Amino acid sequence: MRAVLQRVSEASVRVGGAVVGQIGPGLLILVCAMQDDTEAEADRLAAKIAKLRIFRDAEGRMNRSVRDVSAAALVVSQFTLAADTARGNRPGFSQAAPPEEGERLYLHFTEALRAQDVPCETGQFAADMQVGLVNDGPVTIWIDTREA
């Protein structure tokens, strides 16, 4: 699985003008299930993110996790993280999991993150979403379970 994490002061997702998910301080997590991913990758990604020390401690150093600071996550599925831009000018997305499998793994990842004691809000799978955020730092980190 692939994920882009953004440490945020606040984030929200709208579908058709209605807010479907929002958080205050925490993480906006854009996530994509790739071909051949399993629940094991989703579980490993959730555990890694829950423990990743990217929040400030009392001295201002990035030394605390999302759990340590009692923050939340807004999890949004984003198949475009599977973009292959190696050839031509139109990205290919054939490495993304098929939609049904992608949704299943997206939901599994969200539940795995909740099991790590991280409160989660979500977007709406396969919807045209408008994501708003205030990036804190800015801090943006990319994780691929095949490389981590």
The full set of domain ranges for the chain reads: 2-144
CA within 13 Å, CB half, 41: 22
Note the pLDDT tens digit of each residue in 36-82: 999 999 999 999 999 999 999 999 999 999 999 999 999 999 999 99
Summarize the confidence of residues 79-89 as an average pLDDT.
Answer: 95
Just list the catalytic residues: 78-80
Among candidates 86, 69, 92, 51, which has minimal Cα distance to 8?
69
Share of the chain above pLDDT 70, in %: 99
For the cut 80, the answer to whether the pLDDT of residue 119 exceeds it is yes
Distance CA 84, CA 132 (A): 25
For the cut 90, the answer to whether the pLDDT of residue 148 exceeds it is no
State the burial class of residue 77 (Cβ atoms within 10 Å of its Cβ: 0-12, 13-18, 19+): buried
Summarize the confidence of residues 2-15 as an average pLDDT.
Answer: 98
Summarize the confidence of residues 86-100 as an average pLDDT.
Answer: 96
pLDDT at 123: 97
Categorize the per-residue pLDDT at 147 as very low, low, confident or very high, splitting at 50, 70 and 90. confident
For the cut 90, the answer to whether the pLDDT of residue 110 exceeds it is yes
Summarize the confidence of residues 111-126 as an average pLDDT.
Answer: 98
State the burial class of residue 8 (Cβ atoms within 10 Å of its Cβ: 0-12, 13-18, 19+): buried
> What are the residues whose beta carbons fall under 8 Å from the beta carbon of 58, sequence distance 6 or more?
none
- Average pLDDT score over the chain: 97
| Class of the domain covering 2-144 | alpha beta
Give the pTM: 0.96
- CB 13 within 8 Å of CB 22: yes
For the record, the structure tokens of 107 come out as 């939901």
Summarize the confidence of residues 10-32 as an average pLDDT.
Answer: 98
Q: How many residues are present in the chain?
A: 148
